[in-house]
Structures are given as structure tokens and as C-alpha cells.
A and B are shown apart, each in its own frame.
Chain A
Amino acid sequence: MTAAATQNDARKNRIADFAGDVGAGVMGVAEVAGGMGVLLGRIVARLFPPRIDYPELRRNMYKMSVKSLPIVIITALFTGAIMVIQAAPIVKRLGAEGLVGWAAGFTTLREIAPLLTALMISGRVGANNTAELGTMVVTEQLDALRVLAIDPISFLILPRFIGIILTLFMMTLYADALAIFGATLTAKALLHVEPMSFYHGFTSGLLGFGDVANGLCKSVIFGVVMALASCHFGLATKGGAPGVGRAVNATVVASAAGIFVLDYFVSFLLG
């Protein structure tokens, strides 16, 4: 075989490899999306009539919501402060210090509070949930449940699913309030805007309940994505301790990507 022919073959192989990689990537995404869809179907099927293990729901709600409060508080206070620090030069340039409440308010309520809360909760609650479910799968506890004729979906998955959605909704409410509090303090310290005139920026008609509702609506949708991703990857864990690590990694990545992609479409739809 001539050198040119060998080179040609090598090039063909490289193209084939590349096509194979792309195809495998697409198949992988399709598999995950399909798995989540099937899981969502199973969860919804158990909601009518609701077959939930209420003690498990309460335990999960405590673990997910109450234990996440410190992180949400710190994140929200700092985020509110950063919003004002970033808005300060723009507001000063326009000579409209009175508008800083509005500027920090709409970004916080509509985008930043739901987004950052979702990212933090996804790191804490979603990842933790995957790790827990993954450990159960790896140590065959789910098979044990099935042997005892206990439905793992209504006993384990449904309480976690509902827990994550409710947690994210409530934490977004907290984050809204706390971020605005942090922003008020920073505006006073940095721009010498009195808290009352900061507050006036909210109530003077530029912002409405629609902005809060917009953010809360988003948080519910993010919650569904996060809950589905974390339960799906947890249930699909295989391969011991490294497998659990991989599953957690996959959950975090899928939730973050899902949250940002959906954020765009939801913003667009809600206007």
C-alpha cells in the first residue's frame, strides 16, 4: 500500500471516529432525556390518587429545606450586595440614584434570586439526593424494597421529588427577601441611598407582583428539572463508590445545563 493511501485511510478513520463520537453523544443525551421522561411518567401516575409516604416526605422536607437555610441566607445576602455594587456605576452615570432599587430589584426578583438559589440548592439538595439514592442502589437496598413488595417510586422517589420542588419554591421566596435586604444595606453604605427611597424604587410602579411571580414560576420549573435529574441519575448509578461520584457529577451538570436552557425559554414565554 502506498503512503498516500495509508494517509487517506487514516483520515477516513478519523472522520468515522468523529462521527461515532458525535453519534454516541447524541444517543447519550437521548437516553438521559428518555429516562427522565419515563421517570416523570411513573411519578405522575402515582400522584392520581396520591400514594406518598408522608413520614418520608416530612423527613426529606426537614433535611432539604431547613438544613439549606444557612447557605441560602449567605448566598442571597451577598448576591443582593453584588447586584448593587454592579448597578452602582450605571446608576451613577445616568444620575438616577433613586432608580437603584428598581435596577437591583428587577434583576434580583426575575433572574438572579431564582437562578442562584436553584444552583445552590442543586449543589446541596440535588447532589445529596443523588448520592443517597445512588448509595441505596449500589448497596442493593432498592432491590430489598422490591422484595418486600414496597414500591420504591412511591416510597423513595415521590417524597423526594415533591420535597425538592417545595424546597426550591420556599428558598426562592426567602432569597428574594434577603437579597433585597442585602441590596438595601449596600445601597445605603455605598451610594448613600436611604432605605426608604430604595424601597420607594420598588413600589413606585416600575415593579409589580408580576416580577415576583415570574421568578417563583421559574423556581417551580427549575425544581422539576432538578428533581428529575437527581432522581434519574441516582437510580441509574452503577459501579460502587466511584459510580456514586460519577452519578453526582452527572446530576450537577445536567441540572445546571437544564436550569439555564429552561430559564431562557421560560423568560421568553412569560415575557
Chain B
Amino acid sequence: MNDHMVRMLSLSCAILFFQAASGPARADHFTIDLEVKAPKANRMVHAETLGLGVKTKPRAVLEIQAGDKITIKWILASTAKDVVKDVQIQFYAVKTSKPGDPPPPPREFDKDAILQTALTMDFKPKDKTEGELSLQVNKPGTYLLRLETKGAAVGPDDHEHFATLDVIAR
């Protein structure tokens, strides 16, 4: 076996080891069901992870009429084996210029958001929190709705969780 083959074998082992080691770290420790119901349509989305090197999916879209009252329901549950302490669960609905726009930078109370909520909780294994909100969308436009964790990226769990969709009011 020459030096080149030894180096290639070492590199392959290193890549395999890195993938094996990073697999458990990326394991989901929260599930999210986020459902938005409008008078004529509804849409449910689920948890994605937010971390270095994680690609997000194209955002789902729900079309409504301006003036519609929508109901937003979410359930966020822990699937972790240990207690995850002091997790903040934030939800917001904010007007954006077009579908797929990135979320705005976080602020404590965002004056541009038409709805913003937050709560803090410790999650023991299988603990969950739920929310149900009603919101009238008066003006036409694109609104980003997003539920996300803050403070869940601790220890080996190096990522946050979120669920998101765009609501387009015609």
C-alpha cells in the first residue's frame, strides 16, 4: 500500500467519523405542528432545524382574502431524552415584501409585526406547549408566519427549531 492510498483511506475514515459524530448532534429534539386555518383553505407545516450548514426547505404558502380572520394553532413537543431548560417559544406574523423573504432580525417587541407572542418553559421529555390565536388580516400583502425556539441549542443539541409559512392576502 503506497502513501497515496494510506492518505486517501485516512481521509475517508475521517469523513465517515465526522458524519457519524455529527448525526446524533443534528437529531431533532422538538416536534412542531403549526396549522393556519382560513375560511376557504388551511395549511399545516412542521419543524425544521436552524443550524450551521442546514439548508431550509422552500416555504409553504397559504392564500387568503384580505379581511379574512385566520386561526393559528401550534403544538410544540419535546422528543429529547433530557430536560431542556429555559426555552423561549416565539411566534410572529410580519409583513414582508415577497414570499420567501428572510425573517426579520429579532427584537423584543417588533412594531412591524401584526402579531408576536413569546413564552418560556422547561421541557422534560414528552412535555409540550400549545397555542391558539385568531388574527384578522386586513391589508393585502405577504405575511411571514414563524414559530421558533430560542435557547434550545445547548450541549450536543447545536440547533434551534422552527416552522414557517407565507400567507398571501389578495
Asked if A pairs with B, the answer is no
Binding site for B on A (CB under 8 A): none
